[in-house]
Amino acid sequence: MLGRSVLVILVLALAGPPLLLLIYRVAPPPVTPLMLIRLAQGEGLQQTWRPLDEIAPALADAVIAAEDNRFCEHGGFDWEALGSVYEAYQSGKERPRGS
């Protein structure tokens, strides 16, 4: 019984994120973490999603650059940055980013 539960959790942990990426490729997310934070702060829950073609291209680029200014160079995963973070972590020089 416990083994089956662990297997289900493992499958969900591995298959869940790619499945959500596929779903959110065509459908807007129902809420975002920021929306939930604002709801907890008492600001209510409101959203007005806009199609990407109604948003200025520069705004979409700015949002991506704010998250990862090298996105256009690596197309998804910055293996160079991941390698340098891993090396720094292995050497004990610094705490990994995002932790």
Q: What Cα–Cα distance (Å) separates residue 25 from each residue in 18, 21, 52, 74, 85?
A: 11, 6, 12, 19, 29
> Given this model, what pLDDT does residue 98 score?
61
The residue with greater pLDDT, 12 or 65, is 12
Write down the mean pLDDT value for the chain.
85
What is the tens place of the pLDDT at every residue in 59-88? 988 887 887 777 777 767 888 888 888 888
18-22, 25-29, 73-77 — which is least confidently predicted? 73-77
Q: pLDDT band for 56, please (50, 70, 90 cuts).
A: very high
* Every domain of the chain and the residues it spans: 1-49, 50-99
> Given this model, what pLDDT does residue 97 score?
66
Q: pLDDT band for 46, please (50, 70, 90 cuts).
A: confident
Taken in order 29, 33, 39, 42, is the CA torsion positive or negative? negative
Of all residues in the chain, the percent with pLDDT exceeding 70 is 94
Q: What Cα–Cα distance (Å) separates residue 2 from each residue in 32, 63, 81, 90?
A: 33, 43, 38, 34
Task: From 63, 72, 56, select the one nearest 32 (Cα to Cα).
Answer: 63
The residue with greater pLDDT, 14 or 78, is 14
